[in-house]
Amino acid sequence: MILVTVMYPAGAETKFDLDYYLSKHMPLVKERWTPHGLSNAQVVKGVSKPDGSAPDFQMMALLTFGSLDNFKAAGKAHGREIFADIPNFTDTQATVQISEILA
93 and 7 Cβ atoms separated by less than 8 Å: no
Check binding of 9 to a second copy (CB under 8 A). no
Does 26 participate in binding a second copy (rule CB under 8 A)?
yes
Among 29, 33, 38, 60, binds a second copy (CB under 8 A): 60
The count of residues interacting with a second copy (CB under 8 A) is 31
User: Which one, of 60, 68, 81, 7, lies nearest residue 37 by Cα?
Assistant: 68
Cβ contacts of residue 75 below 8 Å, gap of 6+? none
In the complex with a second copy, which residue's Cβ is closer, 12 or 101?
A: 101
Q: Is 75 among the residues that bind a second copy (CB under 8 A)?
A: yes
Give the span between the Cα atoms of 50 and 37, in whole angstroms. Answer: 34
- Binding residue for a second copy, selected from 20, 45, 85, 86, defined by CB under 8 A: 45
